[in-house]
Amino acid sequence: MDKELKSFLDDLVEEYNRPQFIEADPIVIPHEFTKLQDIEIAGFFAAILAWGNRKIIINKSRELMARMDHDPYNFIMNHSINELKYLEGFKHRTFNETDLLYFVEFFKQHYTQFESFEDAFLMPNQQFDPENSLNSFKDYFFSIPDFPTRTRKHISSPKSKATCKRINMFLRWMVRKDNKGVDFGVWNRISPADLICPCDVHVDRVARSLNLITRSRCDWLTAIELTERLKEFDPQDPVRYDFALFSLGVQKLI
């Protein structure tokens, strides 16, 4: 283990894993809620919409929550057909109202059967294994007959060799418990030790510059490689280094 690199990253985690980090990050959206289901729904939408400029992502996520009257769980479970019109015209990049209406229908069907969205990642055997569970999650998400084919592109999976950055980021938010006021830690059946580090262009570039990645492509196996290296520094909570890697990248410090 590179003790000097670990010390460097640990210091950066302490610097960036704090409430001030929240304001400019999509995680600010679920922090505007207190009910478990609202946190899950707002967090999932914010994560799914998280590509492009962060300020725009936050604004579009807030727009979506406003269309749901800032009460997403209640809106999803109790909306009328007329109230669905409030969602018409919503768009962020390639995510549009067709995708949004399917997400709403999926959430309604899920929460009719389960109290928490955590169950969606524990099918079919109530155990979490990153690769199999994310593949099963996508199958479950599109288990409603006649789902829009176009919507499948918004839920990535290891089967398609994607890094699954947005799903892994959402899982980080829900699972990690570090009492720093950033991640929520509202889920208890998935261990932080089993999470995969979210790997986007910023994290990928910084990780390569620090020799944490050797794989030439940026795909699911790259995210696995990065996480395995980070486990050398903290086997119980490897994704805590996401704060350091992302912040170095987005601020172009490396």
Residue ranges covered by each domain of the chain: 3-250
Cis amide prior to 198 (ω within 30 degrees): no
pLDDT recorded at residue 1: 65
In 68-223 the beta strands, taken as DSSP E runs, fall at 91-92, 95-96
pLDDT recorded at residue 48: 98
Using an 8 Å Cβ cutoff, are 189 and 126 in contact?
A: yes
Give residue-wise pLDDT tens across range 17-27: 999 889 999 99
Identify the bridge partners of residue 96 per DSSP, sorted by sequence position.
Answer: 91
Q: Which residues of 234-245 are buried (b: 16+ CB within 10 A; e: fewer)?
A: beebbbbbbbbb
pLDDT recorded at residue 253: 59
Q: Which residues of the chain have pLDDT under 70?
A: 1, 251-254
State how far the Cα of 72 lies from the Cα of 111, in Å rounded to an integer: 12
pTM of the model: 0.96
Give residue-wise pLDDT tens across range 210-239: 999 999 999 999 999 999 999 999 999 999
SS3 call for 140: helix
Give residue-wise pLDDT tens across range 112-132: 999 999 999 999 888 999 999
State which amino acid sits at residue 159: K
pLDDT recorded at residue 63: 98
Using an 8 Å Cβ cutoff, are 176 and 192 in contact?
A: yes
Structure tokens at 155: 């839920």
